[in-house]
């Protein structure tokens, strides 16, 4: 006789805000991940594991921010003409005497201001007649000059551990000579789709079958957020198939499943996970799409860490099988945890405010996430729903670049209402 499958002791149904806090409280206590040293040109998208310091003052000299003439600001109050005594380009050093009263020095953007000068007169604010300069305006001391050390002093921390490295951060690291950086290792994420109706993307589906799009969406989201996806074979809607597939996720930091988390006869994810010792932190969220979403953890006994006395935790997200549900719940819950496991500081979902372009009517009781299109312009940011037909509507989802957030107590949002959107 087959042993009955344990089920969770009780349903843990949270509001969307409570579920977000639950995940946040959990990832806030994660240990520091391991790190590795990589070349700077490979660092895009990685999470910094060390502090980056200024190796000298930034800028290392008083720097001109304009093409023009280095002058003494007081001279422009008292003199109608100045004598040009030389020129200096970026990368050069002025070797002449400090600037004297009544003198000016032609200077290019990025060049060091000479001793004696305290401002730069822009080239368009003066006329030149040979070596005579005729200013057309006055200046305040310090105008168009960045003082030495104004951006950073030698030894200052410029980048802290936990920042995800984009082009701006990489440029800053390069400016202080960091050709290699210590970064956190990428977390590994096992991706498991479940359901008898699924076939692989290269197959022709039968009349009642669909291609497995969820695995590829989740793999793309994992890569985009700094993880290493591992796609597992689709699990059939049987206990044996699901157990074999979940066992293949051993050694991964996270297991993300799609499908099999509702209350149907063949929704076996929760009982099979419970039979393997999983602890559930929530088993449902008052939201649409995504109400059956599951979050929990499991001890990975097959791949213990060092030292042997420690325990290795595998974090589990069971997501509903409909494609839009998968992507919304992944962005809200699974991806912040993934970024935390990768060492990122405060990896919250990204929300923004926008003005609604048309009325939206819903039933109250759930926090709703509707595929929508965000447009930002000089006159403000607006959002328009894409007219989805339910959580399986991949076409509407692909036209969207965000999700309109409808609060659980809302019945209708009027045109012009300021709303929140979940960015993606």
Digits of tens for pLDDT over the chain (424 positions)?
344 555 555 789 999 999 999 999 999 888 999 999 999 999 999 999 999 999 999 999 999 999 999 999 999 988 789 999 999 999 999 999 999 999 999 999 999 999 999 999 999 999 999 999 999 999 999 999 999 999 999 999 999 999 999 999 999 999 999 999 999 999 999 999 999 999 998 999 899 898 999 999 999 999 999 999 999 999 999 999 999 999 999 999 999 999 988 766 667 999 999 999 999 999 999 999 999 999 999 986 556 555 544 567 999 999 999 999 999 999 999 999 999 999 999 899 999 999 999 999 999 999 999 999 999 988 899 999 998 888 889 999 999 999 999 999 999 999 999 999 999 9
First to last CA, the chain: 48
How many other C-beta atoms are found inside a 10 Å radius of the C-beta of residue 344?
Answer: 22
Intervals of CATH 2.170.190.11 along the chain = 63-146
Q: Which residue has the tokens 């400016």?
A: 175
Q: Which residues contact 264 (CB under 8 A, 6 or more apart)?
A: none
Intervals of CATH 3.90.105.10 along the chain = 37-57+151-184
Q: Which residues pair with 193 in a beta bridge?
A: 258
Residues 325 and 350: beta-carbon distance below 8 Å: no
Distance of alpha carbon 132 from alpha carbon 84, whole angstroms: 6
Residues 295-315 as b/e (b if ≥16 CB within 10 A, e otherwise) read bbbbebeeeeeeeeeeebbbb
For the domain made up of 37-57+151-184, give the CATH fold.
Molybdopterin biosynthesis moea protein, domain 2 (3.90.105)
DSSP string of 231-271, one letter each residue? EPPPBPSSHHHHHHHHHTTTT-SEEEEES--SSSTT--HHH
265 CB-side CA count, 13 A: 0
Sign of the dihedral defined by the CA atoms of residues 335, 288, 270, 209, in that order: negative
Question: Among residues 214, 216, 291, which one has the least CA distance to residue 258?
Answer: 214
Q: Which residues contact 416 (CB under 8 A, 6 or more apart)?
A: 355, 356
pLDDT digits (tens, 9 = 90+) for 162-199: 999 999 999 999 999 999 999 999 999 999 999 999 99
Intervals of CATH 2.40.340.10 along the chain = 351-423
pLDDT of residue 420: 97
Q: Exposed, middle or buried by CB within 10 Å (0-12, 13-18, 19+), for 328?
A: buried
Output the CA torsion 119→123→126→132 (10° steps).
Answer: 90
Question: Among residues 392, 418, 197, which one has the least CA distance to residue 288?
Answer: 392
Beta strands in 5-102 (DSSP E): 13-15, 35-39, 52-53, 63-64, 68-71, 82-88
Residues 12 and 284: beta-carbon distance below 8 Å: yes
pLDDT of residue 165: 98
Intervals of CATH 3.40.980.10 along the chain = 13-34+186-341
pLDDT of residue 307: 53
pLDDT digits (tens, 9 = 90+) for 208-236: 898 999 999 999 999 999 999 999 999 99
For the domain made up of 351-423, give the CATH fold.
Beta-clip (2.40.340)
Q: Which residues contact 148 (CB under 8 A, 6 or more apart)?
A: 57, 59, 60, 61, 62, 63
Q: Which residue has the tokens 């930002």?
A: 376
Sign of the dihedral defined by the CA atoms of residues 230, 270, 20, 372, in that order: positive
pLDDT of residue 305: 53
Report CA-CA distances (Å) from 253 to 217, 338, 345: 19, 9, 18
pLDDT of residue 68: 97
Distance of alpha carbon 420 from alpha carbon 423, whole angstroms: 9
- Structural domain 63-146, CATH architecture: Beta Complex (2.170)
Q: Which residues contact 238 (CB under 8 A, 6 or more apart)?
A: 268
Question: Among residues 96, 100, 122, which one has the least CA distance to residue 109?
Answer: 122
- 3.40.50.360, 3.40.980.10, 1.10.10.10, 3.90.230.10: CATH of 13-34+186-341: 3.40.980.10
Query: pTM for the whole thing?
Result: 0.88
Q: Exposed, middle or buried by CB within 10 Å (0-12, 13-18, 19+), for 384?
A: middle
């Amino acid at each position: 006789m087959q042993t009955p499958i344990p089920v969770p002791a009780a349903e843990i149904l949270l509001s969307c805000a409570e579920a977000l806090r639950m995940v946040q409280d959990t990832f806030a206590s994660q240990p520091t991940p391991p790190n590795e040293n990589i070349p700077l040109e490979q660092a895009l998208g990685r999470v910094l594991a060390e502090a980056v310091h200024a190796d000298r003052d930034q800028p290392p000299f008083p720097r001109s921010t304009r093409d023009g003439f280095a002058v003494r600001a007081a001279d422009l109050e008292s003199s109608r003409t100045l004598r040009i005594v030389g020129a200096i380009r970026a990368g050069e050093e002025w070797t002449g005497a400090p600037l004297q009263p009544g003198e000016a020095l032609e200077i290019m953007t990025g060049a060091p201001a000479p001793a004696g000068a305290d401002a730069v007169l822009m080239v368009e604010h003066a006329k030149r007649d040979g070596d005579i300069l005729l200013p057309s305006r006055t200046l305040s001391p310090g105008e168009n000059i960045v003082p030495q050390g104004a951006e950073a002093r030698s030894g200052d921390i410029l980048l802290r551990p936990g920042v995800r490295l984009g082009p701006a951060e990489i440029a800053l690291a390069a400016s202080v000579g960091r050709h290699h950086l210590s970064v956190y290792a990428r977390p590994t994420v096992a991706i498991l789709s479940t359901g008898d109706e699924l076939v692989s993307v290269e197959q022709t589906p039968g009349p009642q079958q669909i291609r497995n799009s969820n695995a590829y969406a989740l793999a793309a989201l994992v890569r985009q957020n700094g993880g290493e996806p591992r796609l597992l074979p689709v699990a059939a809607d049987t206990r044996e198939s699901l157990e074999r597939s979940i066992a293949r996720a051993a050694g991964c930091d996270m297991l993300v499943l799609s499908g099999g988390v509702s209350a149907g006869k063949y929704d076996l994810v929760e009982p099979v996970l419970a039979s393997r010792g999983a602890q559930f932190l929530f088993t449902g969220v008052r939201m649409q799409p995504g109400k059956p979403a599951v979050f929990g953890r499991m001890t990975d006994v097959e791949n213990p860490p060092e030292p042997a006395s420690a325990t290795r935790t595998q974090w589990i997200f069971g997501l509903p099988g409909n494609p839009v549900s998968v992507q919304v719940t992944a962005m809200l819950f699974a991806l912040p945890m993934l970024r935390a496991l990768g060492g990122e500081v405060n990896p919250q979902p990204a929300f923004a405010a926008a003005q609604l372009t048309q009325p939206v009517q819903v039933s109250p009781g759930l926090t709703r996430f509707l595929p929508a299109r965000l447009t930002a312009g000089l006159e403000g940011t607006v959002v328009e729903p894409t007219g989805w037909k339910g959580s399986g509507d991949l076409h509407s989802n692909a036209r969207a670049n965000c999700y309109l957030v409808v609060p659980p107590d809302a019945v209708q949002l009027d045109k012009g209402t300021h709303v929140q959107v979940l960015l993606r």
